[in-house]
Structure 1
Amino acid sequence: MIAPQELTGMILAGGEGRRMGGRDKGLEPFAGLPLVAHVAKRFDGQVAELLINANRNQEAYELFAARIIEDAEGGFKGPLMGIYSGLRAANTPWLLVAPCDTPALPNDLVARMTAGMGDHDIGVAFDGERLHPVVALLRTSLAADLAATLAMGERKIDRWYARHAWCKVDMSDCPEAFANLNTEEEKLRLEYALAKAAKEAR
């Protein structure tokens, strides 16, 4: 098992939010809190340090993490650049990443990801049908290899993962937890569904 002191958490919030009209998705309100706050709760007390990868509104994000890190290169180069920036910034052997727009992630995400790794270098959440490549646990020693990959112009996460010893981490019992919000409509729909489920659970 990977102990909390060996693990850095990072929330990816560095995108352009194009499908939300260019708004900063992580700061969009959801059930009374910014989206990023819901994701940050999944790491609370379970990692040595929580980072947020953000390329704008850094002061707003400082409320939710120990450190805010920008992409190592400007120009919104995609999530693989965000992951590289986290691997480079982490002070632990492992980095667990999750996107800012997945507010329904399982509360035991950290425990499940670390338990599902085996001897692999990368673990990727799998909901039974689809992989979720930006919900992943990675050895930070992969930073140099990823730097070289990015320098060659590669931006596809799955192609870089395929070069390493990676595994699926089974999350097939909760596929709905990985709903990511790209539009205002998706946000409102999930907000309603979660509020309804919470009411029924009372």
Structure 2
Amino acid sequence: MGLNPVLPAYTALILAGGQASRMGGVDKGLQTLHGEALTQHVLRSLAQQTRPPAGYLLSANRHLDHYARWGHPVLPDAEAGYPGPLAGIQAGLAACPHPWLLVVPCDAVQLPDDFAQRLLDAAHDRQASSAADPAHWHPTLLALHRNCAASLDAYLARGGRSIRGWLADLDHQPVHFDQPFANANTLADLARLAAP
């Protein structure tokens, strides 16, 4: 698929605001891999996209000063108690200055170079697209049009917390990638990625 020259600029949102319960409750975005925080790996991977972001937002609820050192706006959840990734996405949509928001969790440290382009192409004329690989659908790897904000606000107000549940109400297109996405969801995953 070739580049879509009419696609507008987009902002990337890195989700690092969760409890990381499968990692023992540490601040996952600040855990290191090869001497750099996971969030730094994601920032670099996004900068190397065939269509890089026009701006970045960081969703975080702890160590806000540390995240701010990377020079991008840091967005804590509006609701206390770690309500889940949709709260980070809600904050990202509210702060997004561009028509499109590309959402990436902080543990997705190795993105294909055409990741953003393919999701944005698939979302063109829709509300959303998300990534799937041979084994999994990854609903936190997604492109969203800014006009999704009202739908998300309403979903959260009804008590919804599932990204999958919210996406079911949108004009949403899965995008299939041939290779699995490497992520550091647990400390064991992180150790495997760090192994030579």
TM-score where L is the length of structure 1: 0.87
Do residues 182 (structure 1) and 185 (structure 2) align?
yes
Report the structure, 1 or 2, having the larger helix content: 1
User: What SS class does the counterpart of residue 146 from structure 1 fall into?
Assistant: helix
1:67, 1:120 → 2: CA distance? Answer: 27
1:27 to 26, 30, 35: 30
Q: How many residues align?
A: 190
Let me know the Cα RMSD of the aligned residues.
1.8
Q: What's the CA shift for 1:161? A: 0.4
1:131, 1:3 → 2: CA distance? Answer: 27
Unaligned runs of 5+ in 1: 196-202
Identity in percent: 39
Q: Who is 1:37 aligned against? A: 40
Residue pairs, 1:1-202, within 5 angstroms? 1=4, 6-44=9-47, 46-171=52-177, 173-175=178-180, 178-192=181-195, 195=196
2:112, 2:168 → 1: CA distance? Answer: 26
Change (3 A) 1:3 1:70: farther
Say which is worse superposed, 115-124 or 161-170, in terms of deviation: 115-124
1:56, 1:2 → 2: CA distance? Answer: 38
TM-score where L is the length of structure 2: 0.90
User: What SS class does the counterpart of residue 42 from structure 1 fall into?
Assistant: helix
User: What SS class does the counterpart of residue 185 from structure 1 fall into?
Assistant: helix
Change (3 A) 1:28 1:3: farther
CA deviation digits over 1:25-47, x for unaligned, max 9?
Answer: 00001012101111011222711
Change (3 A) 1:145 1:116: closer
Say which is worse superposed, 108-117 or 147-156, in terms of deviation: 108-117
1:100, 1:59 → 2: CA distance? Answer: 17
Say which is worse superposed, 55-64 or 25-34, in terms of deviation: 55-64
